[in-house]
Structure 1
């Protein structure tokens, strides 16, 4: 039995044993009430809670580093397309299932057209699409129309001409348009007006690779889910192949960031052939800025064919580790061949060419043995890490819930035992005190219910105020940083002047805008979004602390009954800690399906930019003509016009910021924080309510038991003592699990 199975089984057994005690309590006259029913419901739900959550492992890295190969090696099957080379941001999420099932989550046509429209903003002649003498505005652009695709093709050719062969690499807008045109004919049959899910199972399962391996198909996809019947895979682990970590489109990168926010572990793959690349450095720094450095484990994917001997392989590993140490503190690096491990596990199904490679590698026993040992170390450490995370994420909260029930049940039994005392005077005093406290508890519960409603509203107001302050222009946070970036951005007017001379002013203007937009999006992804996630984490911590202090304030009146039942003050403190832990924000977000909205600032620019630029060109042309008539040196017309356009782009961007940030604030509050606060308040109110219902006293039933003959009361007292003894034994078992 694995450690995972052992802990889960132990907790399920503890919940079952606790439920049996509660059932025995409910069978005692005077002890059966709504609170015991709720306890039974909680205990019976524990097994489902233990099995419903997932530990998420993200596999990230630069293109061609071996991410998919590592996943296939871990699963022991060639499931994910290797060597795809796709830089479009998407995640392929893999879970254990009963059969092979692929779910392709496709974008809607509106989403796809909006992406293309964004790439064509300020494109030369992009105000109209001419076909059959009809004029269509690009606001109605639709790739499904033949004449729009023809326009897109012509736009791409003009764009390539404007960029030229010496532009220094790919541009995101060029890649997007090219892929959209190439993939339309094949993807067009699947995509629908609304976002939809395409499923492949059985013999057609492998068709999912068409969407993940081909860039021209991948741009039509949001993400992919794979259910696979792999015996060695943990049923509570999700492994995700995160493509696009080195995407040239920063807005796509933010979708990867958004997924990483929810993961428990990041396996970052580095190729031994290239070592740590610039793209790796950027992405690792980004993960660190998101506060996720502690989640990272590094894999040096060794290419056995590239290393002459074990010493050379070790040298490369040491170099990578040294470079990583400059980026993160105490990096954990494992060096082994992912492909060798995959070939070892799938030898019987390998094609002849790959079997020869495997046979050749096996001849170098030192390297293969070293890789094998490092793989074993990696798998052992991975298993330990997952067991720890599994307990913290999936098991700790249910265990705390059971512990809370046991403490409350113990308290209720102690009160009832005191009321059944053979000393009639002591028994009557205990009953009177229980009734008085019960009445007070009911009154306080009504007050708590009312105040909790007000508290929820106050929390929402406070968080909204904090959000407004965070996004306000004057406090040096988001708005101020964005404003400063826009103002300080330097356009390379000389290069655009060259582009204008080569392809015309409109083409140069388009390149200016797209370069600025790319730099702006990159700044948002790499600087603003991590700052935002840190800020939201602080809010969640404050909420957790607040509910903990709120619990303490609601318990003051009930401490007298604790003293009556003999509960020590340190037990009260311990119980408060248990309840605070039981309010699980991560679990609430998982149940509600809440995730931080992606910060995409789609700053659309009006025709004023172009008009402003051409106005500058026109005025400067008149000055140039006049200067020639009077033989006076004239200013550079294009540079002046482009300079004016650059200022106009910045002005338009700054003007658009407030509305864009206001829109995101609304999403953040209404789609994430408000539902989280309301859900936490409901959960908190339920727990508090159970605490007060604990003192619900059925006077007539208890009096009846008090007036029973001594023999019956003694027998019942022995039953209650046995229940208390059983409760204490279970609490000891819980303590042992927590220590492990």
Structure 2
């Protein structure tokens, strides 16, 4: 068992024992209610948070860099489908589980139909919609209309600028896979699980485009002993240079949830232009500090270890231009994978492995680099799991154990005093309690008032960022759209609508790429900056009250000391800083998906573009009936240029509406919630040490009037509670040492 598991187990046991201790308090004579009910609720919340907390590691890189091979070698088995299609973007997540299993999460029919509607904007054919004006792929007539619309596309619409039309491939895949997937889609569950006996079947779905297009997510569960740490998720992401910009946005969405990034670079290609673009994007998002670089080397491509060392030095220098002092490792993922599944290899792959093993220098170099990588990654994962999943819980549980000790000491003193002395003790404690109550009320009222001002300030920041006239990222997008010049077709592609569709496809692809590479990273950076600002706002508000809480505790302890009551040894002062990122992660709060902002084209009004442009088509319209493609004349070009201007206008209008939705979601579903959660968390931190003086003493005071026999029984229970409390404190101290607290 590693240090994380040991610390977690100690924390779980301490929580269970604390809960039992709280339950024992109710059995005391004269204590009619549970003085620790609020702490019991806190323990329940801690259990849920520890169970749900996950440390995420994203494996990224360009297409064919060896990401899936790396992931398979990391887990010691051929689990992840290698070479999945490029039309769909499926992030395959791997987690610890009881048994080997693959769970496929399916899109809903509404999501499928919405994607088809999105892909069919400005399609040359206008008769693909159903009788109700919408599309529903479940209807046979609608599928036939979609198929017919695809048949009408010419080469000019299927391939533009050397790039395949992703919308056409998307719709084609949906149609091809419908018959095989429909029963799964109609099932009550939105997921399909393949157990150990049929685990490999999930690859048929992931690797076959007509089926993969229906998937939303894939999660693999691997049992213990197969390289999967508890509460660590490793994700194999789609290639960053996918021809579909939406895929890049999906990767960005996952990166916003990750704690570490493993960037894989193929030794055959080195650092490519696609890598430079993606690393620049990661840097803009503010995520460059936690990247590990793996040069996935192919033994067959390199003559010697000296060659590999030279490659390592060169690539490290290139990466350092974007990420200073990068941590770079060079080893063969395929060699590691083959070595781990040697008994399962076919003759060809076994021969390759045997050949590689003969090169002892190359093998030793790769083994050394692999071990160096795994050692460093394990250290970081263990440290960060401690910080993310255990640190705050150990702090709070330790505070509870200290508070229980104080309560036991005070309650025991009640039992030991004569009636007159006990009444005086109750009176003096009541005076102190009034002061504590005032502090708690001041903290709450101040935070409530300041929170309203903070919400106003954060809301204004979000509004300014997305302001269509002044927001820097948005105005940059408008400038890009205004300056964009679509490559016009050299010949008539058969109809005006075909020409418009070709031009719009180019425009949308360019706008999507700009959003994925420029706007989305700017949004991610803005969100990180606002998170930091929320932390400063809340901490600045609470800092003077933290000092006030510490002062109240000191006065209270002095008063009790004068009365002969000694409190617990461990004193927990009010926290100096609130870690907003921990609040966000423990609450499972996520930034609205960046991909949402890229689903704007469904709002583009097809009829507006066509009506406004068709009247000026001139001689171009006559070519609709001409079967042969001919060079475009001046009037044709003017008509298409006019249509492009209208497309830009409609695109900007639809984006403005979409940004308005995204802006409001970001404010109300993320920023304001994070602000509220941060304020509540800090208020709890400030008042937790005061809780025992506010919520427990009234019940304990009832012991004063109990019989001598009842008091003797109470003393025995309290002595037993103190013994158990010290054992709990020892467990938490051990957990604290393991976590480095």
Aligned to 1:74: 74
Residues 9-41 of structure 1, C-alpha deviation per residue, up to 9 Å, x if partnerless? 444455567668767877777889644344456
Task: Say if 1:271 and 1:301, in contact at 8 Å, map to a contact too.
Answer: yes
2:664 equivalent among 662, 666, 680 = 666
Query: Are residue 212 (structure 1) and residue 206 (structure 2) matched?
Result: yes
Task: Say if 1:90 and 1:244, in contact at 8 Å, map to a contact too.
Answer: no
Task: Say if 1:404 and 1:575, in contact at 8 Å, map to a contact too.
Answer: no
Aligned to 1:644: 642
Residues 497-528 of structure 1, C-alpha deviation per residue, up to 9 Å, x if partnerless? 414x3444322211211111112122222222
In 1, distance between residues paired with 2:207 and 2:399? Answer: 50
Task: Say if 1:109 and 1:194, in contact at 8 Å, map to a contact too.
Answer: no
Describe the SS at the equivalent of 1:367. Answer: helix
CA gap of 1:707–1:153, structure 2 versus 1, over 3 A, is: closer
In 2, distance between residues paired with 1:402 and 1:583? Answer: 20
1:543 equivalent among 528, 534, 537 = 534
Query: Are residue 345 (structure 1) and residue 340 (structure 2) matched?
Result: yes
Aligned to 2:654: 656
Aligned to 1:107: 107
User: Displacement, 1:406?
Assistant: 4.1
Aligned to 2:127: 128
CA gap of 1:399–1:545, structure 2 versus 1, over 3 A, is: farther
User: Scaled by the length of structure 2, what TM-score is found?
Assistant: 0.84
In 1, distance between residues paired with 2:319 and 2:528? Answer: 26
1:296 equivalent among 291, 303, 313 = 291
- Higher RCO, 1 or 2 (CA under 8 Å, sep at least 6)? 2
Query: Are residue 527 (structure 1) and residue 521 (structure 2) matched?
Result: no
Task: Say if 1:588 and 1:676, in contact at 8 Å, map to a contact too.
Answer: no
Query: Are residue 559 (structure 1) and residue 528 (structure 2) matched?
Result: no
2:488 equivalent among 488, 492, 496 = 496
Aligned to 1:485: 480
User: Displacement, 1:586?
Assistant: 2.8
User: Displacement, 1:178?
Assistant: 3.6
| Residue correspondence of structure 1 range 19-30 to structure 2 within 5 A | none
Flag structure 2 segments of 5+ consecutive residues without an equivalent. 562-568, 623-631
Describe the SS at the equivalent of 2:162. Answer: coil
CA gap of 1:431–1:730, structure 2 versus 1, over 3 A, is: farther
User: Displacement, 1:582?
Assistant: 9.9
| Residue correspondence of structure 1 range 199-598 to structure 2 within 5 A | 199-232=193-226, 233-409=228-404, 412=407, 431-442=426-437, 445=440, 459-488=454-483, 490-492=484-486, 495-499=487-491, 501-552=492-543, 556=548, 559-566=551-558, 575-577=573-575, 580=578, 584-590=582-588, 596=593, 598=595
- 140-149 or 167-176, which moves further after superposition? 140-149
In 2, distance between residues paired with 1:301 and 1:194? Answer: 42
In 1, distance between residues paired with 2:707 and 2:595? Answer: 63
In 2, distance between residues paired with 1:520 and 1:193? Answer: 37
Describe the SS at the equivalent of 1:248. Answer: coil
Task: Say if 1:267 and 1:299, in contact at 8 Å, map to a contact too.
Answer: yes
CA gap of 1:707–1:543, structure 2 versus 1, over 3 A, is: farther
User: Displacement, 1:300?
Assistant: 1.0
Residues 215-269 of structure 1, C-alpha deviation per residue, up to 9 Å, x if partnerless? 2322111111122225232222212111243222222322221111111211111
Residues 310-367 of structure 1, C-alpha deviation per residue, up to 9 Å, x if partnerless? 2222222222222212222222111111111111111112222221111111111111
Residues 106-128 of structure 1, C-alpha deviation per residue, up to 9 Å, x if partnerless? 1122322322222221122x322
2:135 equivalent among 127, 141, 145 = 141
In 2, distance between residues paired with 1:188 and 1:712? Answer: 69
Task: Say if 2:154 and 2:493, in contact at 8 Å, map to a contact too.
Answer: no
| Residue correspondence of structure 1 range 689-700 to structure 2 within 5 A | 690-696=688-694, 697-698=697-698, 700=701
Aligned to 2:737: 736
Aligned to 1:628: none
In 2, distance between residues paired with 1:400 and 1:26? Answer: 25
Aligned to 1:600: 597
Query: Are residue 173 (structure 1) and residue 171 (structure 2) matched?
Result: no
User: Scaled by the length of structure 1, what TM-score is found?
Assistant: 0.84
Q: How many residues were matched structurally?
A: 716
In 1, distance between residues paired with 2:98 and 2:367? Answer: 30
Task: Say if 1:179 and 1:217, in contact at 8 Å, map to a contact too.
Answer: yes
CA gap of 1:356–1:36, structure 2 versus 1, over 3 A, is: same
Task: Say if 2:265 and 2:294, in contact at 8 Å, map to a contact too.
Answer: yes
- 249-258 or 456-465, which moves further after superposition? 456-465
Residues 422-448 of structure 1, C-alpha deviation per residue, up to 9 Å, x if partnerless? 999998776433111224444665676
Aligned to 1:61: 61
User: Displacement, 1:185?
Assistant: 3.6
In 1, distance between residues paired with 2:428 and 2:422? Answer: 10
Task: Say if 2:264 and 2:295, in contact at 8 Å, map to a contact too.
Answer: yes
User: Displacement, 1:617?
Assistant: 2.0
